Amino acid sequence: MDGKEGNSWSGGASFGLQSGMAVIPYTLLTAYRRLGLTGSETLLLIHLLSFRQIEGKDFPSLEELQAVTGRNGSVIASELQKLIKEGFLKIVAGSDERQGIHYERYDFSGLYDKLGSYLASQNDSSAADGNRGSIRSGGRAVSLGTGNNLPGDAFGEDESRSLFVVFEKEFGRPLSPMECETISGWLDQDRYPEELILLALKESVFAGKVHFRYIDRILLEWSRNRVKNAQDVKAYSQRFRGGR
């Protein structure tokens, strides 16, 4: 390596170090598969941690995540929804009364709890093996409550992803993480069928009120009136428009 090459390399290294260094839990890199994470989901978590540590952004937009990952917004949104559903992330809302602004941020406490539980289980396993320090491939004793890699989960992810795509087309823009969490809540907490959610979206389009609060009110009204499918929606609409 001659002098010019050496100066070029050292200059590049210096610039890179001055740009900042993110601290990533080593266990996340070595055990992500055992935690039920894919490589792309792990990289997404790393980017979120880096945004917070280097750029001071607690809630990067989908556009910013697209720029650093080079991936489709609906795919990123689907992965965020999964990370939230399985307890690796939370979205926390707050407000700054002095500046009069509301904000959202990602909470990583679930991720750290899972990493801590994993390490504790490995220590227990090592102790049971006579302190040999071996990590068994059967780290199945770790119960993380994530339903890791169950065959049936693939359908649920595809179902959610299709909903994201339909909503993005109707809204004409990428969905925000909070909007993705709302859809996740409709599916996982409220147990609304995908068909019913799409029908509520259709109703909001016809009414010219394409926003999540209006769609949520439609779903709540249908739930109170035991509307569960397209046939029920049709009967309820006829009854409602006919003055009951």
DSSP 73-91: HHHHHHHHHHHHHTTS-EE
Does residue 234 register a pLDDT over 90?
no
Is 64 part of any domain?
yes
For residues 90 and 166, membership in a common domain is answered with no
Distance, CA of 206 to CA of 149 (rounded, Å): 39
Distance, CA of 59 to CA of 64 (rounded, Å): 10
For residues 232 and 197, membership in a common domain is answered with yes
Is 188 part of any domain?
yes
Is 234 part of any domain?
yes
Strands 101-107 and 90-96: antiparallel
Residues 6 or more apart whose CB falls under 8 angstroms from that of 130 comprise none
* Residue 103 backbone phi and psi in degrees, to 5: -145, 165
For residues 118 and 185, membership in a common domain is answered with no
pLDDT single digits (tens) 128-176: 655 544 333 333 332 223 333 333 333 344 444 577 888 888 888 777 7
Report the percentage of the chain scoring pLDDT > 70: 74
In this prediction, residue 144 carries a pLDDT of 27
* Boundary residue ending a domain (95, 130, 165): 130
Is 209 part of any domain?
yes
Is 225 part of any domain?
yes
For residues 91 and 162, membership in a common domain is answered with no
Is 2 part of any domain?
no
Q: Output Rg (C-alpha) for the chain, integer angstroms.
A: 23
Question: How many residues can be counted in the chain?
Answer: 244
Q: Look-up: residue for tokens 């601290």?
A: 23
Does residue 70 register a pLDDT over 80?
yes
Report how many domains make up the chain. 2
For residues 126 and 168, membership in a common domain is answered with no
In this prediction, residue 153 carries a pLDDT of 37
For residues 126 and 50, membership in a common domain is answered with yes
In this prediction, residue 106 carries a pLDDT of 92
* CATH number of residue 103's parent domain: 1.10.10.10
For residues 100 and 164, membership in a common domain is answered with no
* Boundary residue ending a domain (130, 162, 188): 130
Q: Which two tokens stand for residue 99?
A: 């500046």
For residues 41 and 107, membership in a common domain is answered with yes
In this prediction, residue 6 carries a pLDDT of 52
Query: Helix H segments across 19-149?
Result: 26-31, 39-55, 62-69, 73-85, 109-128
pLDDT band at 120 (very low <50, low <70, confident <90, very high): confident
Is 9 part of any domain?
no
pTM higher than 0.85? no
For residues 72 and 124, membership in a common domain is answered with yes
For residues 125 and 160, membership in a common domain is answered with no
Does residue 243 register a pLDDT over 70?
no
For residues 118 and 197, membership in a common domain is answered with no
Q: Which structural domain, as residue segments, surrounds residue 197? A: 153-241
For residues 126 and 163, membership in a common domain is answered with no
Say if residues 180 and 168 touch (Cβ distance below 8 Å).
no
Is 53 part of any domain?
yes
Report the percentage of the chain scoring pLDDT > 90: 20
* CATH number of residue 204's parent domain: 1.10.10.630
pLDDT single digits (tens) 5-47: 555 545 544 544 455 778 888 888 888 888 998 888 999 999 9
Q: Which two tokens stand for residue 120?
A: 């504790």
Say if residues 164 and 74 touch (Cβ distance below 8 Å).
yes
Distance, CA of 79 to CA of 98 (rounded, Å): 34
Q: What is the mean pLDDT of the chain?
A: 76
Distance, CA of 215 to CA of 200 (rounded, Å): 6
Burial of 98 (0-12, 13-18, 19+ CB in 10 A): exposed
* Boundary residue ending a domain (130, 165, 191): 130
